[in-house]
Structure 1
Amino acid sequence: MTQRRMPSGQGPSRRAAAGRPTPSRTRNTGPIRVPSSRRTPGSSDGGAAAKRTDAPRHRALTGRATVLIAVFVALALAYTYPLRVYLEQESQIAEMERAKADQQAKIAATAKELEKWNDPEYQRIQARENFFYVRPGETPLLVYYDAAGAARDAEEKAPAAAPDRWYDTLWSSVQAANAEPAD
């Protein structure tokens, strides 16, 4: 009778069937004689055979694990480009929202300025400041700034004398003390 394979590609399940021995991790390769020089003092002289066993070997990577890792790597590589595009679009959306907020602030400031210009008193003040309008009966006084004249006036004044340096003052005081007659 043929046993059916599992969908995962494995062989038959590893459950112990009735009447079948389960394989052990030890392998009998035959009797081994221990030399008499290595025998312990309490052992018999008959040269009893020792059983040779193999240590259990762990596979580093099974075929199924290799395929699973390859699938994970392929999925990770497949998702990197859409994830990068998504993050790029999120940053663009955030930048556009900041620009939108800035534009709304500018619109609000312009609307506030427009509201000021609807006031006739504000219009009169602006006309007086910008266009030098005066009311009937007022005498306008205009002050012109003459940069060349200001520079010319500054040159005519004598510069202030520079203060003496401290060591010049000290030396002159030493000379004055030396020049005094001793009584």
Structure 2
Amino acid sequence: GASRATDGVRSASRPAAARRTAAGGAVKRLTAPQPRRFTGRATVLFAVLIALALGYTYPVRVYLDQQADIERMEAAQAAQRAEIDRLTAEAAKWKDPEYVKTQARERFFMGKPGETLLVVLSDPDGAAKDAGKGTRTGAPKPPDPWYDTLWSSVRAANAERQDK
């Protein structure tokens, strides 16, 4: 009994690790469990949010496309209204007889009886620069054969098709 009492006193003065080694043998070092990154609830919540995001993607895209269509149509409608206003104003001008006379003079070179009309041509780089030069002397060039004309027509049609 006395040795037990002294054993108890001695074991009280030793550190806890030494007591465990003496009592049970090898020491197992215990570590705190590492927490999981996502719990089951968080994973389910994340999956539901992804499903909702994917579910709402198409309707949102359709909505944005419709808004763009509405804006385009409103812009076209505003342009048509402006064109209608312009044409209405022009039609009102044509109701005035003086405007009709002015347009006839400018567009069709019409004048009142007894007036002498003078038309000024201003074409410094056009046909007037060749007016003083003589014509070519020599025989005119004969027309191309029909098959050359046909082939050039096919080439022209092909070039138009590739431009589009």
Q: Same fold (TM over 0.5)?
A: yes
Partner of 2:63: 86
Partner of 2:50: 73
The residue type equivalent to 1:48 in the other structure is R
Q: CA deviation at 1:59?
A: 1.7
Q: Matched residue of 1:59: which SS? A: coil
Partner of 1:48: 19
Relative to its length, the structure with more helix (as a share) is 2
Which digits, 9 at most, give the CA deviation of each residue in 1:134-162, with x for residues without a partner?
21232233456795453133x59xxxxxx
Higher relative contact order (CA 8 A, sep 6+): 1
Partner of 1:161: none
In 2, distance between residues paired with 1:60 and 1:144? 88
In 2, distance between residues paired with 1:130 and 1:139? 16
In 1, distance between residues paired with 2:112 and 2:58? 72
The residue type equivalent to 1:150 in the other structure is K
Asked if 1:131 corresponds to 2:108, the answer is yes
- 148 and 56 in structure 1: CA distance in 2 versus 1, 3 angstrom threshold: closer
Aligned pairs for 1:163-182 within 5 A? none
Structure 2: gaps of 5 or more residues = 1-12, 22-26, 135-164
Partner of 2:131: 152
Partner of 2:160: none
Q: CA deviation at 1:62?
A: 1.5
Fraction of identical pairs, as percent: 49
Q: CA deviation at 1:61?
A: 1.7
Which digits, 9 at most, give the CA deviation of each residue in 1:52-77, with x for residues without a partner?
54314212221111111111111010
Match of 2:34 among 57, 77, 98: 57
The residue type equivalent to 1:83 in the other structure is V
In 2, distance between residues paired with 1:149 and 1:91? 53
Partner of 2:3: none
In 1, distance between residues paired with 2:83 and 2:89? 10
Aligned residue pairs, count: 112
In 2, distance between residues paired with 1:75 and 1:90? 22
TM-score between the two structures when normalised by the length of structure 1: 0.52
Question: Runs ≥4 in structure 1, deviation > 4 angstroms?
Answer: 143-149
Structure 1: gaps of 5 or more residues = 1-41, 157-183
Q: CA deviation at 1:115?
A: 1.3
